[in-house]
Amino acid sequence: MVRPASITVFERLWIAALLLGAVNMAIAWPGTLAVYRAAGLFKALGIDDRLGLALIDGVSLLLPLAVLILVSRAGSRIASWVALALAAWALVVIGRMLGERDAVPGTRGMLAAICIFLQVAGALMLLRSDARAWMKGTKE
């Protein structure tokens, strides 16, 4: 069965969010690394700070990428609910960011907000009737 337009839009929006997220991680790398170094979290675990941050960033990109593939290519209904849960969590994060205006200032904050918007908009595509019908394997 041909993928419906809402699934294609979901896929494109999530890819854009992942790409912007990767750019944002690269921009934030020095500051985030400094915070982790000051906290000493990775030292306590016996892991190099850069390796620890790379692992966190990698998982932060691979999890939504896996969900994206499972939803848009495999038609997994469970993954679609995970996508919706990730989008809901993103709304909680942006609410926190807006509540603490100095938490993520400038370009990083703007990129994070755009990423969250793209992620939520994409997840909402999964609630459309054509997407639901495709997930069930029926035509609308």
Predicted confidence (pLDDT) per residue in 102-113, tens digit: 566 678 888 888
Rounded to two decimals, what is the model's pTM? 0.88
CA pair distance 48, 23, nearest whole angstrom: 22
pLDDT of residue 71: 95
Is residue 75 pLDDT above 80, yes or no?
Answer: yes
Is residue 100 pLDDT above 90, yes or no?
Answer: no
Alpha helices in the chain (DSSP H): 5-39, 41-45, 49-72, 77-99, 106-125, 129-136
User: Would you say 36 and 52 are in contact if contact means Cβ atoms under 8 Å apart?
Assistant: yes
Structure tokens at 40: 């000493």
Q: How does residue 49 score in pLDDT terms, banded at 50, 70 and 90?
A: very high
Q: Which residue has the higher pLDDT, 99 or 131?
A: 131
Predicted confidence (pLDDT) per residue in 12-41, tens digit: 999 999 999 999 999 999 998 998 889 888
